[in-house]
Chains A and B, each alone.
Chain A
Amino acid sequence: MRREKRKIWQLPWSYKESLIIVFGIIIVGFSLQTIIGGFNFYLLIYPFNLYLGIIILIFILLSLIFQKNAFFKWLTSLHLSTSLLIAITLLSLILGLTKQDNGAINSEDVNIFYHLGFNQMTSSWAFVFIYFLILLSLGAIIAKRKPSFTKKYTIFLLNHLGLWIILFFAGLGYADTKRYIMYVNVGEIEWRVFDKENRVQELPIAIQLNKFTIEEYIPKLAIVNKKTSEILPKDKPEYFQIDTNNKKEISFNGYKIKLIDYIHNAVRSSDSTFKEVPMKASTPAAFVQVKTQKIDKTKWVSAGNSIQFPMVLDIDSSLAIVMTPAEPKSFISNIEVYTKEGTNVKTELRVNHPLKVGKWKIYQYGYDNNMGKMSSYSSFELVYDPWLNIVYVGIALLGLGSLLLIIFGINYKK
């Protein structure tokens, strides 16, 4: 017996129709993009995001009331879901393959792809349309499914609701987030910040920088070809980690090298010697011996900094032992934060340990890279994100959902 072949556009719609509609929407998005330019997410600033959110919720409610309607059936179908997932994957592929710009455009970059919005994919109309379609469809899918106390439903709900909450609040809330950079000189107090476009603003929050310190890792030694500046061996550069606990002679690149002394905070005390001085202008220095059958030399070696000259140990006319520049281990700002409301917090701020003050979060951002330890300022990022906590709720639900997927695997259906 042969089943009669379903004609295209005959209800219920399947993959063909779903893919055609989804890609039609993408084409509409790209056309709109070439005519009026990108979507401005900042249009969705409060309360307009609230209105749009309510419209989305009403739409989802309608889908629940008119479940039998062919359109809403299609909206919650796996055919459309999969087509939307394919669409967002392809758009992300464009996003992942093209260089995204943050405003600075060279005239040679203005080509067909620029007009299609490839360089700012996440705010292109095509991307935004698919994003909101996923919000609508996913919301209706969750609303439609009959709740039950089964493993299957729990896993379904946690994953889909978690994702929906994240998409809903992160997308609609984006315009409400504020993010500024503040530069504070040591010993000074500052309340002016810079926004993305480098415009100055004043905030109801002020930061006083009492002290800024950088801790550095113990550097490494390397043998370098003085003419080409290449580190030996040429194809696979090797570094000799200074180890103050272990001063054994080591064979390194064919030379016998021995660490005799090491000073982490060193300052030149004569032409060729260093001594320990714990000040900002200090730099690591190592007293190194190098030996072969022909030579036996010792010398202080240092990478130097903007005040102290580097020192190298010349092995012969072409090779020398050098020290690598110290890498920062941590940078710490000792700050006091004042707000208009009168709160006053004193803390040590470092990377990965932000400070929450009222509705703001303050992050250690950077410092003067050229000056390193001697940087005269520290910079902070101030972030205001009113929808953060609810996004975290979504992340927690989704995390729980993925944990259950891990635990049950294919048995989640039973």
Chain B
Amino acid sequence: MNWEYFIWFAIPSIICWIGASVLVYNTKFKLLSNLLFILGISIFLLFIILFWSSIQRPPFRTIGETRLWYSFFITTTGYITYRIWKYKWILSYTSLVAVVFIIINLLKPEIHSTNLMPALQSYWFIPHVTSYILSYSMLGAATIASFILLRHVEKNENEKKLEDLIDNLVYVGFGFLLLGMLMGCMWAKEAWGNYWSWDPKETWAFLTSTTYLIYIHTRIHKLNIKISLWILIIAIIFLSITWLGINYLPSAQDSIHVY
């Protein structure tokens, strides 16, 4: 199993997700839409499992592979949040984001290397990266919700439930972000003898998390919600730079995290 077969899993998944996102608005097809969405996730997961077992190393190495996980986790989290909070639009938005990442992967898989360098061979590798990807998908979902809430706020509509959803996604997403960072520290200490060295990726991860901390603390005493929501949008920009943009920063040319 390799990337050549990806398209045969990706397209059925996309069809399931889009079908589910459309059908969910019709109460008659509620069950069908739930089943379709789960089927989409399962087909996608099947590819990940088959791919993992054939390359004989965890598929966490290349950016293409992390995008694979992102598509999987964002649809899974999207589905769980839909079940808990009953927002139908969550399904369509998370599907859309997943589809975008799948299309990027189909056009630009970045699969050059299959070999792990010695520093990456550590039991911290999988939990570290999984934690980050989980966090990214929740914070991504929180951003989508914050755009929607911003529109309501403009119209002076009160959406307490949506506010709570965003807070919840940020608390949980930030928890994973912090956990991923701490595991990164432990790993760095074992590999390089240093738990923190202000490497560009570390610096950007740090300022991303302080931006989320600003959001969390402005929410405690209910500062103007519009300001808080804009902080979330700035935060996701920082997060994207941490994740994808580091390779292009002139300040990061010697970074150990560039791959």
Contacts and interface: CB of A to CB of B under 8 A. Distances in A.
Contact of A402 (B179, B198, B207): B179
Given A89-B210, A89-B211, A391-B195, A410 B250 contact: no
B171 A98 contact: no
Nearest to A93: B207
Contacts of A403: 175, 179
A217 B198 contact: no
Range for the number of chain B residues in contact with chain A? 35 or more
Contacts of A354: 190, 193
Interface string A325-367: 0011111000000000000000000111110000001010000
Contact of A96 (B112, B168, B193, B203): B203
B116 to A, nearest CB: 8
A99 interface: yes
B171 A410 contact: yes
Contact of A381 (B122, B167, B193, B198): B193
B175 A237 contact: no
A399 B182 contact: yes
Nearest to A90: B207
Interface stretch (A38-46, A54-62, A78-86, A189-197): A78-86
Contact of B251 (A96, A330, A401): A96
B104 interface: no
A147 interface: no
Classify the secondary structure of B's interface with A: helix
A305 interface: no
Contact of A85 (B176, B213, B221, B249): B213
Contacts of A81: 217
A344 to B, nearest CB: 22
B63 interface: no
Contacts of B112: 237, 239
A123 B164 CA distance: 40
Contacts of B70: none
Interface in B83-122: 112-115, 117-119, 121-122
B218 interface: yes
B200 interface: yes
A160 to B, nearest CB: 11
A410 B115 CA distance: 41
B191 interface: yes
A351 B191 contact: yes
A259 interface: no
B172 interface: yes
Contacts of A408: 171
Interface of A: 78, 81-82, 85-86, 88-89, 92-93, 95-100, 121-122, 170, 179, 217, 237, 239, 241, 327-331, 350-354, 361, 363, 381, 383, 388, 391, 395, 398-399, 401-406, 408-410, 412
28 contacts: A78-B217, A78-B220, A85-B217, A88-B207, A89-B207, A96-B200, A96-B204, A96-B207, A99-B253, A179-B193, A217-B115, A237-B112, A239-B112, A330-B121, A331-B118, A352-B191, A363-B192, A363-B193, A381-B193, A395-B195, A402-B182, A403-B175, A405-B178, A406-B172, A406-B175, A406-B176, A406-B179, A412-B171
